[in-house]
Structure 1
Amino acid sequence: MIEITEVELNEQPEAVLEAYARITSYFRYSVILDAVIPERGLGDIILRERTIPEKEKNYDAIEPPIQWARSWDLTKWGVFHALVGGEHVGGCLVAYDTEGVHMLEGRSDLSVLWDIRVSSQHRGQGIGSQLFSQALRWSKSRGCKKMKIETQNNNLGACRFYARMGCSLQSINRFHYQDFPEEIQLIWSIEIN
């Protein structure tokens, strides 16, 4: 049985984030989404799958979760752990009403699914869906009308997951990541009813 629990960040956010980071963000990929721009941008933008030699990505190596507590005040964030038989197997963080988090656009009716992860041996069991649903409920309880999510063109599994969860692709930014020019920022969003 899967249990989703909320974790308070008020007292020791760094300790909570250290525990959270024990579930790795590492993944391998061999398919990316290319942004095809017909007619120099006057036609539709098409995302087309392309097979590449296998690569790996670890978001935590770029920005470890503990850094979030050093960069922002997380006291208004939601943190959820997924437990199976008492074992921590996944989690998610939801940003809300936090100065300096640009994706929040300075609005109090918007949340951002900052991070969601499930251990590799527990994927495909509905844990991510339950975490996502909890993030929506938590956002709704704070009066949010929309939740946004950022991912990249090299995380096709995440893109498919967000589409399955009812999200729509909101924006494509081909030049967002200066340190990773081959990656395209994809912003998804879902209306909260």
Structure 2
Amino acid sequence: MPIIEAHVLEGYDNDAKTRLGKALTDAVQLVVPAAPDAITVILHEMPRTHYMRGGTHRSGAPALPDPCAAVRDYLAAMEARDLDSARAMLGAGFVMNFPGASGLTTLEELIAWSKPRYRFVKKTYDGFEALQGEGCAVVYARGTLYGEWPDGAPFDSIRFIDRFEVTAGKITRQDVWNDIAEVKASGHPNA
């Protein structure tokens, strides 16, 4: 029964503390074969006046936004073609890699590339997972695609996985894998 104790400065809201507790529980499970309900996380909050570094009282840094929520918001904005909102969620050096198109750096490039491939595409999500990567949060979104081919014929149930890197709350990378090419190559009646 692992017990994790962490000291944090006062000021984090309940959502941030819940996310921290869940992340610590998940981290233990990467190493120790314990069920989540066997892992105890205790957060000790202390007032700013009880903490000094370099002879100066310090404040805690603001909590980072939930990376899964950031990705969900971005994908919803893209699906709604609210490009201004989606663009505001992107960080410096943003790059997208899709099957058959790598190194896209603007949403306009993505739209131009996808235009001859389908009229529209939407996603049904089976899940989102986040983990800490090297200097960024990594979020996986997985599920199925549905939409219309250029001739208006519908398609659905096409598997996809999107991998995102989120740095300081902004999306800096998107890598996409899906079965669209396989569905088209199979001679599927709606391909």
For normalisation by structure 1, the TM-score amounts to 0.25
Structure number with the bigger relative contact order (C-alpha 8 A, sep ≥ 6) is 1
Bigger CA radius of gyration: 2
For normalisation by structure 2, the TM-score amounts to 0.25
